[in-house]
Amino acid sequence: MIPTPHIEAKAGDIADTVLMPGDPLRAKFIADNFLADCHQFNAVRGMLGFTGFYQGARVSVMGSGMGIPSMGIYAYELFKFYDVQKIIRVGTAGGIGDCLKLRDIVIAMAASTDSNFLRQYGIPGNFAPVANFALVERAVAAARAARADFVIGNILSSDTFYGDDPTAMAAWKKMGILAVEMEAAALYATAARLNRAALAILTISDMIFTHEATSSAEREKSFTQMMEIALNAATD
């Protein structure tokens, strides 16, 4: 089933490892600024995808769109039909933990969720989606080498951006959740189901309780330290 309904790439166009920001323009930024000998393999629905070389290693980058359903589609198609082995999400998150500040990096060891996405698997209990440990190790080593301000721990992948419950984030915070975003749990669960490797590396773009925030331009074109950490983890 190549091409798929959402990816027009041919067999062999996509590398074994894919970096996935939510924003397709951030995918283009990574390709333009970090990859050599780069070519575009996807533009279906504006979800740009590129393959090139980072320090001699072949790597792809592609947008995932916003939210668990969108990530679920693209991660499944990349893993299942293009034989991708590793996906690293590079995105933004809202900081919840008191240990965080704007532009800090979170390496997501696990991804809790308020979504019903996991019910599709018919598991008689609560599945805990976690990152691939080898990728976590590589990301931690790359973050330390870059002298980055980073934290490792559990995040929340939420289905709602404008939630109706004003107490929800405080409830997640008391369970040690560091930050909230909208895609990682679907990525981790899909990787688990298909026996692949996944990781999310996130930059704190806003603080939930203090309302500090970065601009949309910063979110699209900066946060380069996160991108370099992910590329080094992917190609090590």
224-to-30, 105, 113, 197, 220 alpha-carbon distances in Å: 8, 11, 27, 23, 10
Tell me the pLDDT tens digit for each residue of 64-103: 999 999 999 999 999 999 999 999 999 999 999 999 999 9
CA distance 89 to 78: 13
Residue 155: partners with Cβ closer than 8 Å, 6 or more residues away: 93, 106, 108, 110, 111, 112, 177, 178, 179, 180, 181, 184, 200, 202
Tell me the pLDDT tens digit for each residue of 154-204: 999 999 999 999 999 999 999 999 999 999 999 999 999 999 999 999 999
For 116-123, the CB contacts below 8 A with 24+ separation are: 116/159, 117/68, 117/69, 117/72, 117/185, 117/186, 117/189, 118/185, 118/189, 121/189, 121/193
Find the mean pLDDT for residues 102-107. 96
- Catalytic residue annotation: 206
139-to-94, 108, 163, 178 alpha-carbon distances in Å: 20, 10, 31, 17
Domains and CATH numbers, the chain: 17-235 (3.40.50.1580)
Q: For residue 170, give both structure tokens.
A: 């405080």
Q: For residue 24, give both structure tokens.
A: 């397709």
pLDDT above 90: residue 217:
no
Tell me the pLDDT tens digit for each residue of 117-127: 999 999 999 99
pTM, full prediction: 0.96
Q: In the structure, what pLDDT confidence band is assigned to residue 218 with cuts at 50, 70 and 90? A: confident
53-to-4, 35, 48, 72, 179 alpha-carbon distances in Å: 24, 5, 17, 26, 31
CA distance 113 to 111: 6
Question: Do the beta carbons of residue 31 and residue 52 sit within 8 Å?
Answer: yes
pLDDT at 44: 96
Q: For residue 141, give both structure tokens.
A: 């080593």
